[in-house]
Each structure stands twice: as structure tokens, then as C-alpha cells.
Chains A and B, each alone.
Chain A
Amino acid sequence: MGKEYSDEELMLKYRNNDASAFESLYQRHKGSLYRYILRQCGNEAIAEELFHDVWIKLINARGRYKVKSRFTTWLYKMAHNRIIDHYRRQNTSSSKHHPDDDNLYIDSLAIRPQEQPEQLAELRQQSDKILQTLETLPLPQREVFLLKEEAGRTIQQIAEITGVSADTAKSRLRYAISKLRQAVREQV
């Protein structure tokens, strides 16, 4: 069994011209990063463009890469900045629910055959409600929740990525959790 390289080791290998290291990194993080962006801009086409831009920026910056912090902090910081840049250009912080999202939920639920139909229906309703509520959250609250759920970041790392204090990040997450839980309770 081959050695499991850390993100930072893979990035250093890519910096030193190992293209396969990038592929490993990409496969490891593409899903979470894509969803992090998608949930914040609410539009697949825009999400694809921003997602593409972030990776290309990473590719172009590989020669300057040094292990100063976690790779994921660096990656999500770039994504955070790209999203902020996008909203500045759009001059809006609102997003719209994309109709295709509903089909994606159905597809994702369909891959759990061990669940009973009633449970699936209930879970689907709850999941649906969470995602709907998530879209209504203010962007900063939504972002900290996504960084926790999609990227698995700690409060301190979230604070670093979003450029706020740990207390602020924690406060935002607290409000996000509370609202999402409240939404699920109402659903039940």
C-alpha cells in the first residue's frame, strides 16, 4: 500500500513538477471546494467558473508555494477571496436557489438503498429544509457553516480563512447552527 501523503507534501511534490500529485490533491478536495462555492453563489455556471479560477490560481502559484499554513487554509482562502471578488463585481450578496439543486438532492438520496422509504422521505425533507434555510442565511453565517461542514475546518482556521477573529467566527457559526436546527425542528 502506497504512502498517504499529506496535502502539503502533495503540493510540494506538484511544485517540483509531479503532475500526479496535483491530481491527488484535486480528487481529494474538488467536491468539498465545489460545494463550498456552489452553496454561496447558488448558480452552477458561476460556481464552475469560480471553481476553475481558484484551481488555475493555485496552479499558477505553485512555484511560490511554501508550507506556511495548512494547504486547505490556503485553498479556501483563495476561494473565499474569489467569491468576495465575484460579489463585489456583482454588487450583491444574495443568491438564488437553482432549480437543478432539487434533482441533485434526489440523486444523492437515491444512493442509500439501505434506508427505508419512509425514513428516506423524512431525511429528504429535512435535508431539503436545511439547504433551503442555508440559502436564506446571511453570507458570513453560511460561509462559516460550509467551511465547517465541507472543509472540516476548526473555528480558528475558519477565522483565518475569512479574515475575522475566532470569536466572530464562533458567533457566526452559533447563529447558523441555531437557525438550521430551528428549521429542522419546524419541519418535524
Chain B
Amino acid sequence: MSQEKHEQELQDYLQGDSELSKTYQLASKELPPAHLDDVILAASRQAVKSKPYLAFSPFASNWHVPVALAAVLTLCVTLVISLQDETGEAYLRSDPDASLQSTKGIDDDTDVKLAIVATRKVQGSQKQIADELAQLEAPAAPAEKNRQIVMQFNSRMQQAVSKVEMATVLERGKAEDRQLPSSKNLLQASPIARQREKAIGLFAEDTMRSRVITPQALAQSEAGFAGSVVPDVAGGQDNATGFLKKLLGKWRGRAVHTPVGPTPYDIEFTWQSKNCISGTADNSFSHHNWTFCEEKSDVTLDFLSDFRGNDQAIHLNLLSMDDGVMTFMADTHQFMQVQIAIDKDKAWMKIMHYGKLHVEIKLQRVGHASQ
């Protein structure tokens, strides 16, 4: 077929309403499955709920960039002026005595002494530079001096920028900390030593999400670990919702549906802090650690499965509560949902992936919470 005919076919097609388009459109009707619609729409609502974006708000995430730039620019100007004051004039003078002579006009004796000290410091720097250049067998030409000034300036600028960046990151980290769940609860929720180690790793990971590891963060992790030894349970029983109280205690049951087949699933939920309960199921192929926390009227879940060596906990927020079924949704792994229902002495949990059943657990109460 000729090139012209191909081109004509294309032009006909681009004008629209071609037979080819009609025939294709007739067959092309597939839609994403309804469960996927639900997952994506729930994620969109969750995003609005958990991380509100306020246009023109001073707390919006893009606020840091212009402020950081402004801070850097201010520092640049300040440093340039400062460097000019400290070094610029002195470097330009070839005769060290000239700088001393320049102080003769100063009446105040103290100022004269300070000026002399400052100049001698600069002379010292000059000598050091000269020595270094001599070692390189290069003359201490003005161009080289300028290069040293530039290097010195750059070095100081780098330090200053690093400080600004660090301050910005610290602020951002604080802001994220306000939004992200603390993994302290997870730390407190780990009764087994191995779990604790993982939890500490998770704490470090959470801290990394804030991009700064600070001594305070390390101290916090220690505090979290200490908290697991002596949990503050007294306040919890007073403050917690009915859900936490219902779940508290010993349960025996089975994971009736898992990727590797059914398995026993025994778990005991105990108070870990005044508003958190936690339990770990040690089944035949992995450990599942569940930590539920209640703050005001909201309930959150931190779920950690070490299946196939996983050491990342997933934080889930309460999405809905319909007919006694509580649905939690992960904020970072939004394909994952957890559903939980408790009816007196029976409970079930379902872990859903992309809206499909991944794990189903059925539990029967065998003991109430130890006081």
C-alpha cells in the first residue's frame, strides 16, 4: 500500500467517526472491578481526612521551600558582608603594616587593639595560605588569594546552608511527627525480645521518615522500650472505648484462610499504655503483632507481620464502622484494609488486599483481661 494511501487512511481516522473506531468502541467496554473502585475511592477520602491540604496556608507543605530559600539568601548576604569586613580589605592589602597603619586614625585605644588583633589573625591566615601555596611551588598570586577567599566563603556557605537545611528538615520532621503515628506504641506492644528488636528498628525507620535522627529520638525509643516493661494500665481502663475493652483478654482460634493454608491463631491483648492494647499471635509460620490505640474518638491499628522476613509495620486508620464491623485502612499501603468485628466472646478479623480476602481469622474468647 502506498504511503499516500496510508496517509489518507490516517487523515480519515483522525477526522473521527471512522468505522474502525466504531468497531473498536463496540468491543471496548471493560471496567475496573467494583472492589477496586471502593479501594481507590476510600483512599481518596482517607487522603483528604488524614492529610488536609490547605491552599495558601502557611502550614502547607510547599511553605518550606520559599522560606528556606529566603533564609539561604539572607545568610548569603550576611556572610558576604561579614567576609568583606573580616577578610576582604585585609587580603587586598599587600603590606601587612599598611593594615596596622590604617588603625592609626582610630581614637579609641580598645578599638585599635581589637583591630590589630583582627588584622594579625588575617595575616596569620595569609601566612598559612602562603605556606600552603609554597608547598605547591606556586606563587601566592592575587588570583590564588582570591581563590582561597572563594573556597573559604564556599566552605562557610556550605555550613550555613547545611544549618538552614537541617533546621528546615527538623521543622518538617516535627510536622510529620505530628501527622505520623508514633511507633512507640509498637515498641510497647512487643512482648517478645525479637519483636522488640524489630520494633526498635521500626522506630528508627519512623525516625528516618522524619529524616533526622536526634538524641531526643533515641531517648524516646529508650523511653518507649521502658514503657513496655511497666505499662500504665490504670488510666487506660478508664479512658478507652468499648472496642478496646471488648478485645482485651485471651483468645483462641484459627486463621482459617491464609496464603499458606489454615493455622492456629491464639492471641492475648493486654494494656500497653493508658490508651493502647496489644497482642501477638505466634502461629506456625509468622508472628502477627496487633496494636490498637484510641485517642479521643479515633481508633488506630499498627499491624506487624514478620512473614517472609518482613519487619515493616503498617499503620491503619479507622475508615468506617458499619453494623459492628470496624474497617481500618493503611495510609501508606492503601491496597490493604483490615476488618474486625467482635460479638461478646467471638471475634473475626479479615485482612483484605485490593479488596480481596487475604487472611481471615476467627477467634473465641478463653479468658478475660488480667487485672
Interface residues of A (CB under 8 A from B): 14-19, 22-23, 26, 30-31, 34-35, 38-39, 48-49, 51-52, 55-56, 59-60, 62-64, 101, 104-105, 107-109, 111-112, 123-124, 126-128, 130-131, 134, 149-150, 155, 170, 173-175, 177-178, 180-181, 184
Contacts and interface: CB of A to CB of B under 8 A. Distances in A.
Given A52-B36, A107-B29, A17 B53 contact: yes
B274 to A, nearest CB: 32
Nearest to B61: A63
Nearest to B33: A48
B29 A64 contact: no
A48 B55 contact: no
- Judged by DSSP, the binding face of A is helix
Contacts of B61: 63-64
Nearest to A36: B28
Contacts of A111: 29
Contacts of B26: 108-109, 112, 123, 127
Nearest to B23: A126
Contacts of A64: 61-62
B48 A19 contact: yes
Interface size class of B (residues with CB under 8 A): 35 or more
B98 interface: no
A56 B1 contact: no
B1 A62 contact: no
A3 to B, nearest CB: 20
24 contacts: A15-B53, A16-B54, A23-B44, A26-B44, A31-B31, A39-B28, A48-B36, A48-B354, A55-B40, A56-B43, A56-B334, A59-B44, A62-B53, A63-B51, A63-B53, A64-B61, A104-B30, A127-B26, A130-B20, A131-B28, A173-B13, A174-B10, A177-B20, A180-B24
Contacts of A170: 10
B335 interface: yes
A184 B20 contact: yes
A124 B27 CA distance: 8
